[in-house]
Structure 1
Amino acid sequence: MTADYRTINRASWDERAPAHAASPDYALDKFAADPAYVSHVVRFDLPRLGDVRGLRGVHLQCHIGTDTISLSRLGARMTGLDFSPASVAEARTLAKRLGDPTDFVESDVYAAADVLPNEAYDLVFTGIGALCWLPSVDRWASTVARLLKPGGRLFIREGHPVLWSLDDTRKEDDLLVVRFPYFETAEPLVWDEGGTYVATDAVFTQNETHSWNHGLGEIVTALLAHGLRITALEEHDSVPWDGLPGRMVRGDDEEWRLAEGRERVPLSYTLQAVKMGE
């Protein structure tokens, strides 16, 4: 019997969570040293986030909680949710270390509205590298809609589905080659890759993962179908990690961009939507 994708992916994230917490790329020591420090991912979107003071928010697929705690430091009353018990443990340890009131809940994202109060949140936040682990973007949009109050806001910055479709191993020329699906597929892409996306000396054994792409139109359509109104959609020429190794350079803003012809493709996007209602 084939293992469920959640079991397979959870094993990978559980093994990597401690290495991520120890990596300088997640900057936990900077969080401890500076009470005003916020993650690069959140810092990038500060002009778009606006004032979140007093908002009740939930961060879906929060991993080790650095973005969640960053939103808390900006004044939101945050809850983080993740399906990896090791990630949640690291997030709780970080919050305790920092004296931050953010709470963290262990749950699959599709079950979030079953374990958290419905229509209770002013803000649902989803960060980089989250949607690709979900087989159905429609189910995700349904979860978002159930959690948000009428008038509440979804805020998501994600890797662009165009980026996920590119061959990230090609380095011999400047061509960008579409190799993988842009649209959501019934079957996952199955990967067997060691390593991780941050600097670490850790060696991993749980290297199989299952992922899916979701076209930008599919994401927008799913949100509209579940009663959300798109209020902003901005595509960016950068991502916060080396998404195409050997082809990118890191800027002073800690974002990675194509070294040549960066205007050719969008690499990430920020989308905002508001739940319709009273």
Structure 2
Amino acid sequence: MTDYRDVNRANWDERVPAHVASPGYHVRQFLSDSSYLSEVVRFDRSRLGQVSGLRGVHLQCHIGTDTVSLARLGARMTGLDFSEPAIEHARSLAERLGLSMEFQVADAYDAVEVLGAAAYDFVYTGIGALCWLPDIRRWAEVVSGLLKPGGRLFIREGHPMLWTLGAGAEVPEVRYPYFETAEPLVWDEGGTYVQTEVEFSTTVTHEWNHGLGEIITAVQQAGMVFDSLTEHDSAPWDALPGLMTEDADGEWRLTVNPHHLAATYTLQAHKPGH
């Protein structure tokens, strides 16, 4: 049987050049403006708090735009992703920006083995990461293993309710599982979530949803203390094409009754100190 990681890695490897060139990732802005931060990091800036001087790791960092944004806020960042082309770009971007950072190619589940146990002040995970992992409890154990005592988890993700929806004629329709399932949802889609004219040839992906209760319980069972959950009515991409409208900050909401849908969430937890 083909491993889900091989299937998904092939898809992400092919996306990298298109994402680097797409205006959706704002690589040109990073290079031209030394104060520029990714939209995802800017959205949570007030919740993120002070990270200057802290050692952080960004799991599933893709091409590194959120990672370098955290470094621009003063954090000593490490990025990890299973796609070698993505990490090659992340390293190149950091070098061009004059940032001293570490990037490693590895699966998220192998992060403790690759990066070291109890080595980080915070673990950061951004939009669209958890859906590529089949086991949320195993992920939470990795996060806990990476954190120093007193360290914290910070994550903004697509809401599991959003992941259940498909775009109907006029309103979203619930079509897919809310809870984690043993078997993945198998997709065969040619596009991507940012603007590009590239036609992809590696189009199959395997994905999983994880309910909020499952995520919070996994965090607690891994020895972390759950601190906060903030649900948002917006997402930083057009998650339901034809049904959403973009605002001035690059966030997309349902055009009709946006308050009806929690589209993303920000979750924080910490590992107890000695």
TM-score bucket of the superposed structures, by smaller chain: over 0.9
Deviates more, 1:88-97 or 1:39-48: 88-97
Inter-partner Cα distance in structure 1 for 2:263 and 2:118: 32
What letter corresponds to residue 247 of structure 1 in structure 2? Answer: L
Specify the alignment match of 1:47 in structure 2.
46
Q: Distance in 1 between matches of 2:18 and 2:106?
A: 21
- Once the two structures are TM-superposed, the CA of residue 173 in structure 1 deviates from its matched residue by 2.0
Note if 1:4 corresponds to 2:7.
no
The 2-side partners of 1:53 and 1:219 are apart by 28
Match of 2:201 in 1: 205
- The answer to whether the Cα contact below 8 Å between 2:254 and 2:261 also exists between their aligned partners in 1 is no
Residue 170 of structure 2: aligned partner: 173
Letter in 2 for 1:276: P
Structure 2 unaligned blocks of 5 or more: none
Write the letter of the residue equivalent to 1:47: S
How does the TM-score come out when normalised to structure 2?
Answer: 0.99
The offset of 1:76, in angstroms, is 0.2
Q: Deviations over 1:104-147 (max 9, x none)?
A: 10000000000011101001000000000000000000000000
Matched letter for residue 28 of structure 2? D
SS in 2 for 1:273: strand
Would you say 1:151 and 2:146 are equivalent positions?
no
Aligned to 1:268: 264
**1:165-188 deviations in whole A, cap 9, x for unaligned?**
0113x1x223x3210000000000
**Structure 2 residue matching 1:122: 3-state secondary structure:** strand
Q: Judge conservation of contact 2:170–2:243 (CA < 8 Å) in 1.
A: no
Length-normalised TM-score, structure 1? 0.97
Output aligned runs, 1:4-83, within 5 Å: 4-83=3-82
Paired residue type of 1:182: Y
Offset of residue 71 of structure 1: 0.1
Q: Deviations over 1:62-117 (max 9, x none)?
A: 00000000000000000000000111111111111111112110000000000011
What letter is aligned with 2:252? W
Percent identity over paired residues:
61
Structure 2 counterpart of 1:104:
103
Match of 1:246 among 242, 259, 264: 242
Determine the C-alpha separation between the residues in 1 that align with 2:131 and 2:108: 13
1:231 aligned to 227, 230, 247, which one?
227
Q: Aligned letter for 1:96?
A: E
Question: Amino acid of the residue matched to residue 173 of structure 1?
Answer: E
Cα distance in 2 for residues equivalent to 1:69 and 1:80: 9
* 2:189 matches 1:190: no
Pairing of 1:82-121 with structure 2 (within 5 A): 82-121=81-120
2:8 is paired with a residue whose SS is helix
What is the match of residue 215 of structure 2? 219
Provide the secondary structure at the position in 1 that maps to 2:110: helix
Worse overlay, 266-275 or 90-99? 90-99
Q: Do 1:138 and 1:223's aligned partners in 2 also have CA atoms closer than 8 Å?
A: yes
Number of residues of Structure 1 aligned to a counterpart in Structure 2:
274
**Matched residue of 2:166: which SS?**
coil
Could you tell me whether the CA contact under 8 Å between 1:238 and 1:255 is conserved in 2? yes
The answer as to 2:101 corresponding to 1:127 is no
Take 2:89 and 2:197, find their aligned partners in 1: how far apart are those partners?
Answer: 18
